[in-house]
Structure 1
């Protein structure tokens, strides 16, 4: 009986993973990194990096940053999806890679750690490179065969395009349909009908709409934002707006008004109504949680977290690692200059609309938007 028990104990138990790999009992109980075959079989590549403009940051619900976009291309080459795990520093990245919590460090590491296998994108002048686990030679070889220095230039060019206004497919219409009659757009009656849902002046919502789409109901951004008010599909679903109706002017404006009202409710601590509108506009463009991070930084540094003039300074500073890596900041890097510029342009156009538009609804039915003759005339 004793011999039989010993024999059973000496038999190697095997565990079969969902993607078809067989692991020994000793392997199954230890957290290890996936091999290249495991990664492909599981359909996911896990990237470890640090938040920042060159590495990874969230931009309107999409990942951006040179290292992320490169790794995204590599994952596409493998035929798998990409998951990002953010770390606070390089020590955490290396430890998590060793523990099997990630497959690849997409960050320019100094080539000094003997526990790592360096491969892929590199900066020879700085002696830095991406890294994988020492035992994952197949992944390192595949990464080296895929990468070429020209990819960096291509990705930088693509990122520059995506972050420009050119990445929004739209016709550019005049910012005023009929100045002499005080008609802003073909959709004034919808702004007048739905802006009160958010307790907004309809001309402010019209100014925002022009900034978003230049009054083109078919506008589409690379990130997937659609229609007059550039509503993301996920936001549309949350608001009860179907993708089949998202280009309908009335339904798009109505959904946007509902979203503005929701954002206004989340800024009830900003008691001044006009100030609150600036916070709402900033959140619509740059994200609610980034704005909250800037408010927290403002308060920490002795400013007024409910003053747009104070908070906008820290929205700008969220592109500086001294600030976006502050422990009080929960959502990292932000392209703050874009958001502050967005709010400023809407404020300026709103002031112009207030000086011309009378608020009547009797003119829209006989006019259609006039195509701008020269695109560069209208600054977006």
Structure 2
């Protein structure tokens, strides 16, 4: 079977860059296969376009305050707030992790995202380039420094004499800090106030505050500056750092938006006015700023911040996916959607295991409730390949994968019904996005499932519609958080 799938397998390897436009890759016969994906367009989306596309795209950093992935599950203070907003306006939330924060404003203004969420301080310089939402919190900048050796065996009143407690003591000290940050700006101003030199070592935007705090903790550098809320989260994980010296007044942390998105900003501000008075908002803040369990998650080997694993089954997923030429992160996204990586998961309908096989289908692929993970994943991929082959009429490989996933979830009959409805109502029956998926969604409406072109009747169309979209959104996020090893 693997030999027969050689050309197909090579084609699917290209999916890992599916949104980048026309991609060439070589199959084993030396012929070039082109996959036409969706080119990134520079759109100045405002609220109307976001609602129409059913997607709100957030540019985030990989951090506990912004966004991270833990055991495949999306977390982060700002992520959870914006996820509630996305639910309020009825759209899906997509996260794009920005590897270099020095470029985040350009990415926003180029239309690569709709909102910036990276614990962003409101400054005059940034206001000249973008708009800001209502502040979600206020925080001061603090100095991060190491406590002296043996501090844990000494009274605080004793060891505290060896750390900096007055900004004037920063004269001639070396501080490593992100160059394009409000921290750097503040330290430049502090030099003028002190009338003396602070030796500033600029850091690039691809180094997150958590990493710099760790560098202080481990003795690689002596000082850095971060926001107090970031320090509060991390000092529970690095107890040998001191963060008590405040270097600024309370500053506003807010979401960044394009100046060309006034309706989005107005809607977000109105929602924040109400949401920030709720117990849900207070719980989210407590969860990330006061609950040490979430600090441990952000530092786990299964965290996108410190670890390199999505699930306990990563290596199995990589090995099995590799045999069939599928991107393991795409399969991981599907498994999370099916079972959240719970091996013994069983649905109300009797579907079981990592890939949620129905009892009538699993044995066909050699998968039973007590089958080991490798057998379950192998059977699931073979089922997906079978579905993929059933849609050989779909010319675009990415769209074909979406038809295959829709079939995996709903069965081929309902997808064929939606395809026939799409053709009848003037949509493209060979394209899933915004075409066939629209009629999948409508198959819960009697007007459509009673149509003469439909043979399989009612289905909960929203489930399959959201299923395919959620997998591809999660896949996009997995790709940025867990790059393919070179």
TM-score interval, smaller chain: 0.3 to 0.5
TM-score, normalised to structure 2, is 0.37
Question: Which structure carries more relative contact order (alpha carbon 8 Å, separation 6+)?
Answer: 2
Under a length normalisation based on structure 1, what TM-score does the superposition of the two structures give? 0.47
